[in-house]
Structure 1
Amino acid sequence: MKKILLILSLLLSTLSFSQVSVNKGIYFAKEFSKDVSLYKAKNFVMSEILGIEEKLTKFEIDPLAAASSGELTTLVYKCEEKEISGLVLGFYGDRWNESGVSYQAYAFKNLPLKKALEILSKLEKFIEDESKFLSEDYDNNNMFFKYEDITFLIYKTNGGSKIRVFWNGFDSEWESTAFGRTKRRFEKNIEK
C-alpha cells in the first residue's frame, strides 16, 4: 500500500510541475496565440513599421486568425495618418540555446498591403487551380513556391489543404480554415 501511495504521489507531482503544455494543438493554443500575438505585435508595428516619433500617432491592429497549432497568427494593421496598412505574420516555435535549454521563440513578418493581397491571392489561386493534382494523392502530392524570403509548401490531407510556411528558421503550418479566415477578414478590414 505504501508503495502504491509513493508511486501515485510521484506521478502526480511530476504531472503537476511539468513544463510541457498539455494544451498544445487544441483550441486553447489558438486563443493564446492570438492574445500573445496582439500584445507583442503592437510593439512590432509601432517600432518596426510605423517608426516611433515624438508626435502622437494612432494605429489599429486586429488579430485575424491563428493556426490550430498556435505556430502562426495573422494580424491586420492600419495607420490612416501615415497611409500604411498591411498584414503581419506572427511565427512561434521552439528553439534551443547553446546550453540545450528549450524556449519559445517568436518573430513577426510584415507584408505591406499590396504584397499581402498579392500573396493571399496567389495562395488561393494555386490551391484552386491545382486542386486536382493535390487531391490525387493526399499528403504525397506537394507543390511549393518562394515569395521573397518566405517559402510556401502546399499539400492536402483528409482534413483539407495545408500550407507550411518557412521563414527565418520557422516552419509553421497554416491549415485551410485559418488561411480562409485570414483572407476574408483581411479583405473586409481593409475595405473599411
Structure 2
Amino acid sequence: MNCQLLFILFLQFIVTNQLNLQPHKGGSWETVIPKKDGGAIRKNLGMQTVHTALLPSGKILLVSGSSWRNRANVQYYPQFENPEPALGLWVKDEDPFLKSKLNNYYELVNNAAVYDTKANTFYRIPHPVPVDDPDSFNEPRFAPNDLFCTGQQHLPDGNVLFVGGTQYSDPFDTGHRSTFIFNWQKEANI
C-alpha cells in the first residue's frame, strides 16, 4: 500500500471513532421545551436564530434579524434541475427604505429574544428601531439596521456590540453601517 492510502485509512479510522463517542465522553443532546407561560409558540421558540451570545447573567441573547427570508417561491432540486436562486427580501430597485415602508421593514427584522436556561423561560425583546438616514436628501428614508449577518463581540463590561448586517440582497449582497450595543444589565432584572 502506498502512503496516501494508509493516511486516508488512518483518517477514516479517527473520524469514525470520534463520530461514535459515548455521551459520557462526547456530550449529548437534550430537547428543550420552554415553559408555556413565556413567549414561546407551542413547544418551540417560534423564531430561528442566526446569532447567540451568552450574557454575564447566564441568559442567552438570540438574534436573527430578517434571516434573509425569501419573498419569491423557492425552487428545489430535484423538482427543478437547475433551481433559480430566490430574491431575498430587499431589492434596491424597489427603494425599500422609504419612511413609508418602515412598519413593514420593522415587522420583518424584529426577531430578538432572551432565553433563561435556569428558569427555562423565553421572552422577546425589541430589535433596534431604525433611525432617519442622514444621507437621505430627496425623499425621507430610514437607515437599514437588519441584524442578519451582523458581526458581534462581547465588550469588557459584558454588553454585546453588533456591527453592520444585511442591507440589500439584490442586485448584490451589501451590508449596512449601523452599530448597536445590547445592554445586558437592563434585561437582568426581567
- Quickly name the TM-score band, shorter chain normalised: under 0.3
Q: Normalising by the residue count of structure 1, what TM-score does the alignment of the two structures yield? A: 0.26
Higher strand share: 1
Higher helix share: 1
**Which structure is richer in relative contact order (CA contacts within 8 A, separation 6 or more)?**
2
| Bigger radius of gyration among the two | 2
Q: Normalising by the residue count of structure 2, what TM-score does the alignment of the two structures yield? A: 0.26
